Amino acid sequence: MVKNILIDVNSLVPYLMTGKTTGIGRTTLELIESLSNLDKDLPFDITLYSQNMKGIGAKSLNTPFESTHFYVPNREPYNKILASTPIKEWFTQYDLMHIPHNFGYVYKPERTLVTLHDALFMRIEEKAFNHKQMRDQVPLLMKKCKGIITCSEASKRDIVETMQIDPKKIDVVYWGVKHEVFYLVPDKENIAQLLSNALGIRTPYFLSVSCNAERKNTHQLLTAYLKLCQKNPKNDLVLVWGNPPAFIVQMIENSGYKHRVHFVSNISDEQLALLYNGATAMVFPSSYEGFGLPILEAMACGCPAVTCKNSSLTEVGGDAAIYLESSGSEHIFEQLANFENELYDSQELKQKTIHQASKFNWAHTALSYIEIYQKHLELL
């Protein structure tokens, strides 16, 4: 009898509703699409599971997989009730359930595989997230579940150290990059025209892809850039940031350089690829990442990536990224000035970044997941 894997795709519901998603939702989407695009017969069946009252779920995805939808609110009280009885087991008859978004309430943890993206909540306290609840709940599931997948060796070390998990229980699989979307466009004049027409952005500029998480240190980048503005730099600053906090907006308003800083949001992957292609450099001064997709996407477009030497970032950046001594504004300022003064060989950087990005692809990620599924289904 063919065994069945149930993959929880509830992190994709925002994408299915709006076309936009978070980093975790994005990696889940890419994984599902990559599994469905593999030109091979899978040695097991896959069923995609979703849950909400609107009926928005996996059936909306263009995949060859079966889908199951529960018309139950996807909220904690209801999920706890579902996890207290074998309802999913009765209706879906799965042999292995995969939760690709860090945590879920489950009835059978011993039949559950979890993708835990990082142990950030065990290392850092951020106002934007309920880290206490994660610290209370996630380690318990990690100890009981059948297996764990994470996206970097750094994350694996953190999970082992902070949750006292047997390292043999954890598999590391890197995320990929969509090379058909994120690639070098050599015609820079065309890129400049497209950016101007589509987003009102004119080159040259430094780029940052951020959010309101404090660890992203975008305020340090902004401080460094506003200092650079005193020297009348060639490069503007473009921030892909949908909802910057009030103090950031105020910093820019008070600086006298508001015309040099541009916010863009709600953009497509294709527009993001244009921004990477047009940027002098992409600056990502994060204090902690489970992986670091913006670095990889930028490098795939031939854009130099400036980042920090911590957590997973050196695994993604390899010897192609430019590493800051720290995420402080003084070190960011030094690197911005280096690019302003053209101290780097742009052609050499371009070649190194594209080569590093070529090591990551979603097909390889999907094949690695299939092997792990087979291991836990005892098919190997």
Query: In whole angstroms, how far apart are CA 3 and each of 43, 98, 306, 372, 374?
Result: 8, 14, 45, 14, 10
Q: Alpha-carbon distance 27 to 148, whole Å?
A: 16
Placement of tokens 């609107």 in the chain = 54
Identify the pLDDT of residue 21.
79
Taking Cα atoms as reference points, which of 266, 301, 265 lies closest to residue 281?
301
Identify the pLDDT of residue 40.
78
Q: What phi, psi does 70 have (nearest 5°)?
A: -105, 125
Identify the pLDDT of residue 39.
73
Identify the pLDDT of residue 214.
83
Placement of tokens 């650079």 in the chain = 228
Identify the pLDDT of residue 324.
95
Identify the pLDDT of residue 20.
79
Identify the pLDDT of residue 129.
67
Burial class (CB in 10 A: 0-12, 13-18, 19+), 211: middle
Q: Alpha-carbon distance 149 to 161, whole Å?
A: 16
Identify the pLDDT of residue 101.
96
Identify the pLDDT of residue 19.
82
215-224 burial by CB neighbour count: b if 16+ within 10 A, else e?
Answer: bbbbbbbbbb
Q: Alpha-carbon distance 27 to 108, whole Å?
A: 25
204 prior amide bond cis, ω within 30: yes
pLDDT along the chain (380 residues), means of 10: 95 89 90 91 94 92 93 95 94 96 96 96 77 90 98 97 97 97 91 90 93 86 96 96 88 94 92 96 95 96 96 96 93 97 93 97 97 92
For the chain, report the end-to-end CA distance as a whole number of angstroms: 15
Identify the pLDDT of residue 13.
93
pTM score: 0.94
